[in-house]
Structure 1
Amino acid sequence: MSTLLYRIGIVAYRRPWYFIAPWAVVLATIVGLLAVYPPHLSSEVRIDGTPAQNLIDDLAEKMPQMAGGQGIIAFETENGSRIDSGENLNALLAAIDRVYTSDHVIDARAVLRQEAAKGMDSPTVRAAAATTPPDYSSGATPLELNGQAVPGVLISPDKTSAVLQFQFDKQTFELPPDTIDNTVAAAKFATAGHDIAVLPSATMVRMPDIVGVGEVVGVGIAALVLLVTLGSVVAAGLPLVTALTGVGVGVGGALVVSHLVSLHSLSAVLGLMIGLAVGIDYALFIVNRQRRYILDNNMSAAQATGRALGTSGTAVVFAGSTVAIALTALAVVRIHLITTMGIAAMVTVVIAVLAALTLLPASLGLAGERICSPKARQKAAFARAVAPSRPTRRVATAWARMVTRHRFLAATAALIVTGLLAFPAAQMNLGLPSGASYSQGTTQRESYEVIKDRFGAGYNGALIVVADAGNRPDPIAPTDIAGLDHDLQQLPGVTAVTLGAVSSDGRTVVFSVVPSTGPTDTATEQLVHRIRSQATTFAGERHVELGVTGFTALGIDVSARLARALPVYLSIVAVLSIILLSLVFRSIVVPIKATVGFILSILAAFGATTAVFQQGLGQQLLGFHATSPVLAVLPIVATGLLYGLAMDYEVFLVSAMKEAHAHGQRGDDAIIHGFEQAARVVVAAAAIMTAVFAGFVFNDDPMIRQFGFALAVGIVVDAFVVRMLLVPAVMSIFGDSVWWMPRVLQRLLPNIDIEGRRFDLESTEAPYAQHDLVAAKS
């Protein structure tokens, strides 16, 4: 592997355009395809096999008109005047008419007229006649026109607000582009010139912007870190160019494929996050090694490029493979949504590795000897001549000496810090984002607040209760429908029950149940469990099979499924970690220590995310105020991402210590020397990843925001607490026994040279020109 990568590095350096041209062609092709075929992303959080999802799929077959996406628009007068009279009423009716006549919106008025025309032959009319109308005496009331209620419209008790609930003919992610925006624009057009705010809910949110101001700032900070670390504009620019090209190909390719495979919008964002982070880091490792060969060993840029690929390039292949394996292992949980996220991120990582091994050395060939400035060369030559044995990285050396001197105190401090951060994770609630998850000032949050304050929190997420005749051949009797309606209204925590629709054969009935609490409240979750627990009773008394779906029910089922899958996946990752690191370091202590450190980092990330997003601690510092459950898919996906990144730091740091030990240094001397060699690049890599991930914290989409925060915290804790503090302290505690492994395992396990140390050693015995000649001929 090392020799092959060395030869690729030499050839790419000598003939750069042979490598750059294919990347440019692929990238241009992807851009052209996206211009002709815009990406088709989904916002659906779908997990097959859950009760709520099965009910939606069943409903789509029996009553397609009820299976479309839901739309909610709140209207509020800005001056506190009544919305149900005068010009405001005319504007509101015009807005309702425009919404109902918009493309892909089901006109509930026309549906009711059709059913009314059938008279008692209509199952819906017969069911409506048997059920008791909702009690509006103490709450919201329907908007009436000429003595008839306008379908889907309620007026708040203070008469200043209205809410319109309607359905699209498809799920929102299946609608043509701009459908939702055009529907909202139609309502705003009708109310223009009136003091009426039009507030679409979170159910009508458009796809998030993949790149925003925060993300650009994060990349800018990463560029600054590169400049400080490498000390050259040319050297700092190459990792950025390499990473952006890899992301363009990886994420762009995923967007092109979205026309063939269902791809969640979060998959593209995660691909962008991980692609930028590892793309910059992997390129940094190689460029840093090349510069060290030039400055410390006085090599030419061509020789140094080949040697850097032969050594650090091998480590990049191992690191990238580790991340790719961890992400691919997400398929083990057998959840399509998680699998596609993992595969999209994995492909982006693989492309980032390929870019670092081909595009980067070609770019180094274009840069030539300019990769190191004359000033840097003079400074390095002076250091070699005057003080060859003096530590060149004094801060890292001083830190390592302090940690090893106070090893027990350092280890205890690391455990206390990670423990305090992880503590809130014990109260972590999983769920899906609602309107309350959006920042103040967004239309989604304003709509949520208006509906909660004027109508009740439950109107932001009504439950859908479906009664089905099951194996019974007859339609559901109107008396059973009326009895079921009454039973649901009597349940604690129910504000209102409304008959939604009845299938044409009378065998399926849909109710809308409005809880007294919000979509993500614990009381609403308890109501869902209460209805499901009484399904057997309803089956016996009302002769129906009962199910619950809707936003809250979906959130409960998704969270429960993912919560069960997380321990399984975490166990797989832990075993994988121990096996891989045992092969790399031929040690028992190092793999266990590294795995425990990774678990501490994961728990700290979960705890901090819970404290900030669920409990609201410190949100003002981040510029938002929105408490919500932790995103259900976050723990398991973040585990895969952080595992791969944490192992990168472990490998680059501990392998330097192992190398020092192999060259005769013992005990703390080996730890300090290895730390001195690797700490600078590990700190720079962690700072870059933190900057990239932190940029996504300021995205308007609550899902992206949570992922950015969790990954940024995970990287900070893993790099600066676990690897910089806990790792040298624990290794100092164990001393040289940290490298012990039973002889039986030493004979059985292969000796993997992930950083090309043997190649590095062997190549010093042969002239570089000979290597160049062999590489050129190949």
Structure 2
Amino acid sequence: MATFLYRLGRLAFRRRGLVTLLWVLIVFGVGAAASSAPTPPTEQFSMPGTESQKAFDLLQEKFPDAGADGATARVVIRAPEGKKITDEKAAVDKLVGELGKAPQVAGVADPFTADSVSEDGRTAYTVVVYEVAAPDLTDKAHDALTEVTDRARDGGLTVEAGGDAVMVEQSMSGTGERIGVLISAVVLFLTFGSMIAAGMPLLTALIGVGVGVSAITALGSTLGLSATTSTLAMMIGLAVGIDYALFVVSRYRSEVVEGRTPEEAAGRATGTAGSAVVFAGLTVIIALAGLAVVNIPILTKMALAAAGTVAVAVLIAVTFVPALLGFAPRRVLRVADRRLVRAKKPLSARKLRRSEKKAAKLAARTRPNLSTRWAMFVVRRPLGVLLLAVVGLGALALPATKLELGLPGEGTMATDTTQRKAYDLLSDSFGPGFNGPLTVTVEGKDAAAAGKRVGAALEKTAGVDSVSAVTANKAGDTAVLTVVPETGPTDSRTEQLVKDIRAKAPSLAASAGATEILVTGQPALFIDFSQTLSDALLPYLGLVVGLAFLLLLLVFRSVLVPLKAALGFLLSVSAALGALVAVFQLGWAADFFGVEQTGPIMTTLPIFMIGVVFGLAMDYEVFLVTRMREAYVHGAPAKEAIVTGFRHSGRVVVAAAIIMISVFSGFVFEVDDLVAMMGFGLASAVLFDAFVVRMAIVPAVHALLGDAAWWLPKWLDRLLPNVDVEGEKLRQRLRSGPSGVPRGASEHERDLVH
């Protein structure tokens, strides 16, 4: 691997104009394809194999004219204090009439004829059905809804609106990307001390994200990728794109300062740091692609899109980055390093070997940097550092024991939004279960009669508030009725009601003359969703951790290093979940993070975090431990290898972690709850993993294990292919060329040797 990437890096450096042109053509080609692509389809959430999905599919098949594809807005109207809604009939009729004349509206229900008035007579609601799905509503349609409700409020009524026609107005603001890029630029400049060196990772990362997101847009209509599919790809692609380029540029700078020609330095940087980038990228891709085992299409599409963007970031790091280095081979160095390099004469292969030995002795006598001092401290006190880090992360993970999962909805939105106000008005006036009704489908030869018998039985069921009249399809083989629970959609008693109805469905169908009874609706959907994720968690962990373990086994040729990496990941992800629960569910420091409404954690988030964080955690493991492995393979004692790895990689890993944290933290301030939670969770996980697990636990464990950390059974050593991530084969190859000339050396280097 290192030898192949070494050649690739040198080729990209020499043919930098051609490589740059190819990437420019790719960017413009994918961008043109995206701009001419049809509008992405509306994302239809589905869960194959669940009862809720089966019932939903049945309704679409048997009731094709029900208008389920059109957006809806539920407008809630309450009369002033001391009045009935009937006293305001003229104002309500005017409101309904104006709503019916709004753009893209297919129909509006009259609350007085549709039995949509509360028992106390103060509140009513009307349902506005649109001709198109929510994402296809125009600004004029949104503005018309807002203007009509505002005029009704001016007339003295309390009017609030909910439904997907209103919620679709929430969108990504782009604040996250801007904040992340800004902080990343500052960190890169402080790390490199050069504007050009700082700009390269930013430029290549933005190009990678642009290519990935444009490809998603271009393939949207073909593969069914909605506009939301690119959210995770943008977040992950930006973070890893900067990090991967950062490692290659950093290694190039160190190679040039050690006396190598720019072309040779580009080749060695790509062969060593590039190898780490490839395997780190593979772990992220495995973790993301593994989400396909959950069998929820929307999650699979988001994960695969993000995995594709990570693959683009890897390709850019090992091709475009060395090409860009060719345009500014010296200007990526610090000013002091440029002077030092100019003062040096190019070294022959023999003198270069001597220079490396002298540099190693000099490094041992010079004052160590902060990373080196920290590593030396941990090596001296490994047990204390290990215990403190493990106990600290364990304490942070404690709030995760109170984790409550839930799906996003109007009931979890901020209390000052019109959607939440409408939700609360309906709960107060029509009962808490009104916002989460159950839909029961009944199949049979005489579905209408069977449905009536089923409805009568359900009315007597504990926990049921009311049951609607039965509606049968034209063929008469399917009927549907609505069951309103006594409790809210997220109440545990509602969940138990769904389970009770499903448990007695077979016997109820037999006594009612039906062939099958199915239950769907928001509470049922939540139950099925949670069960699907729960069932998939262990297979997912087994697949991802197993594949990543094998990958790290190849990289480090050690059994204990991959095991330690996996256990460290569990600590960091547990602590991150604890922090997430503390802020977004329990409300600790909620004001500081701009959390307006606390509530359950999004159901999809834990498994998303596990996948993404595992991949990112392995990134830092590969970047840091590869340099330790490189020193150990080249003859350094185990403890000295730890210090050497930190001396060369510690500062860069810290910079990479700060960049990734800043990118993810920027998304905390987005209005979309899932994006905000994901940004906070990922930022927390990277913080704990990079600064506690990789910077404290990893060196402590390696110090305690010593040489045993690199133990590999001989029989397994013979079976495993040597991927040479640490570049030992490359180093031997360069030193054993004919006549003392490194194989692949430049013409100038050959002349120097001869």
* Fold agreement, TM-score > 0.5: yes
1:244 corresponds to 2:218:
no
Tell me the CA shift for residue 263 of structure 1: 2.4
Aligned to 1:231: 193
What is the TM-score when the length of structure 1 is the normalising length? 0.86
State the match for 2:272 in structure 1: 311
2:223 equivalent to 1:261: yes
Q: Equivalent residues in 2 for 1:165-564 (5 A)? A: 165=127, 167=129, 172=134, 175=136, 181=142, 184-185=145-146, 187-188=148-149, 191=152, 193-194=154-155, 199-201=160-162, 203-204=164-165, 205-206=167-168, 209-295=171-257, 297-378=258-339, 388-390=363-365, 393-469=368-444, 473-477=445-449, 480-499=450-469, 501-544=471-514, 545-564=516-535
Shift of 1:48: 1.0
Question: Which deviates more from structure 2 when the two are superposed, residues 368-377 or residues 565-574?
Answer: 368-377
Give ranges in structure 2 of 5+ residues lacking alignment. 345-357
Q: Taking structure 1 as reference, are residues 514 and 264 closer, same or farther at Cα in structure 2, changes over 3 Å only? A: farther
Compute the RMSD of aligned alpha carbons.
3.3
1:749-771 deviations in whole A, cap 9, x for unaligned?
22221143432454367668962
> Shift of residue 226 of structure 1?
1.2
Structure 1 residue 91: deviation in Å? 4.4
Q: How far apart, CA to CA, are the structure 2 residues paired with 1:386 and 1:566? A: 50
Residue by residue over 1:115-168, the C-alpha shift from the partner in whole angstroms, topping out at 9 and shown as x without a partner, is xxxxxxxxxxxxxxxxxxxxxxxxxxx942xxxx246x4458472x54333555
1:31 aligns with 2:31: yes
Task: Assess, with a 3 A threshold, how the Cα gap between structure 1 residues 359 and 660 changes in structure 2: closer, same or farther.
Answer: closer
Residue 201 of structure 1 deviates from its aligned partner by 2.5
Does the CA-based 8 Å contact 1:433-1:628 persist in structure 2? no
Amino acid in the other structure paired with 1:241: L
Q: Is the 8 A contact 1:99 1:186 kept in 2?
A: no
* Cα displacement (A) at 1:475: 4.2
1:163 is the counterpart of 2:125: yes
Q: Classify the secondary structure of the residue corresponding to 2:49.
A: coil
Pair 1:711-2:682 in alignment: yes
Question: What does residue 94 of structure 1 align with?
Answer: 94
Whether the 8 Å contact between 1:187 and 1:198 is mirrored in structure 2 is no
| Corresponding position of 2:347 | none
Separation in 1 of the partners of 2:226 and 2:669?
20
Task: State whether residues 461 and 550 of structure 1, in contact with CA within 8 Å, keep that contact through their aligned partners in structure 2.
Answer: yes
Return the letter of the residue paired with 2:49: G
- Unmatched tracts of structure 1, length 5 or more: 110-141
The one-character-per-residue Cα deviations of 1:681-719 (angstroms, maximum 9, x if unpaired) are: 111111111111121122111121222222222211211
Greater CA deviation, 32-41 or 341-350? 32-41
Shift in Å at residue 672 of structure 1?
A: 2.0
Are residue 614 (structure 1) and residue 614 (structure 2) matched? Answer: no
Give distance in 1, aligned partners of 2:40 and 2:46: 16
Tell me the distance in 1 between the aligned counterparts of 2:614 and 2:250.
24
Do the aligned partners of residues 425 and 167 (structure 1) sit closer, same or farther apart at CA in structure 2, a change above 3 Å counting?
farther
In structure 2, distance between residues paired with 1:105 and 1:551: 25
Tell me the distance in 2 between the aligned counterparts of 1:698 and 1:416.
30
CA deviation vs aligned residue, 1:75-123 (integer Å, no higher than 9, x gap):
456986858367x6444333333445667655375xxxxxxxxxxxxxx
Relative to structure 1, the CA distance from residue 158 to residue 647 in structure 2 (aligned partners, 3 Å threshold; closer, same or farther) is same
> What's the counterpart of residue 673 of structure 1?
644
| Partner residue of 1:723 out of 680, 691, 694 | 694
Contact 1:463 1:552 in 2 (8 A): yes
Mean alpha-carbon deviation: is it higher for 258-267 or for 406-415?
258-267
Asked whether the 8 Å contact 2:217–2:227 carries over to 1, the reply is no
Tell me the SS of whatever aligns to 1:519. Answer: coil
For 1:539 and 1:510, locate their aligned partners in 2 and report how far apart those are by CA, in whole Å. 14
1:632 equivalenced with 2:603 (yes/no):
yes
**What CA distance in whole angstroms lies between the structure 1 residues aligned with 2:214 and 2:79?**
43
**2 CA distance for matches of 1:50 and 1:440?**
33
- Checking the alignment, whether the CA contact within 8 Å between 1:436 and 1:627 is kept in structure 2 is no
Paired residues for 1:735-746 under 5 Å: 735-746=706-717
Q: Alpha-carbon deviation of 1:330? A: 2.7
In structure 2, the CA distance between the partners of 1:585 and 1:572, relative to structure 1 (3 Å rule), is: same
The one-letter code of the counterpart of 1:771 is: A
Aligned-pair distance for 1:454?
4.5
Q: Where does residue 117 of structure 1 map in the other structure?
A: none
Distance 1:620 1:79, change over 3 A: farther
The percentage of counterpart residues that share the same residue type is: 38
Contact 1:474–1:507, Cα closer than 8 Å, also in 2: yes
More deviation, 46-55/574-583: 574-583
Q: Secondary structure of the equivalent of 1:107? A: strand
3-state DSSP of counterpart to 2:85 = coil
Helix, strand or coil at the partner of 2:273: helix
User: What residue is the counterpart of 2:353 in the other structure?
Assistant: none
Shift of 1:596: 1.2
Bigger mean CA offset, 342-351 vs 367-376: 367-376
The question of whether the paired residues in 2 share the 8 Å contact of 1:608 and 1:713 is answered with yes
| CA shift for structure 1 position 427 | 4.0
Q: Hey, what's the Cα distance between the residues in 1 that align with 2:474 and 2:81?
A: 43
- Work out the CA distance in 2 between the residues paired with 1:731 and 1:512: 61
Deviation at 1:527? Answer: 1.9
SS in 2 for 1:466: strand
2:731 matches 1:756: no
**Which among 612, 623, 631 is matched to residue 641 of structure 1?**
612
Provide, for residues 173-222 of structure 1, a one-character-per-residue CA deviation record: whole Å limited to 9, x for no partner. 6x566697367357447648545565442533227534522331122112
Residue 689 of structure 1 corresponds to 660
- After superposition, the C-alpha distances for 1:363-403 in whole angstroms (9 at most, x for unaligned) are 22333421124234347989979964345653212222222
C-alpha spacing 1:510/1:390, structure 2 compared with 1 (3 Å): farther
Deviation at 1:287, TM superposition (A): 0.8
Q: Contact conserved, 1:7 with 1:306, CA < 8 A, in 2?
A: yes
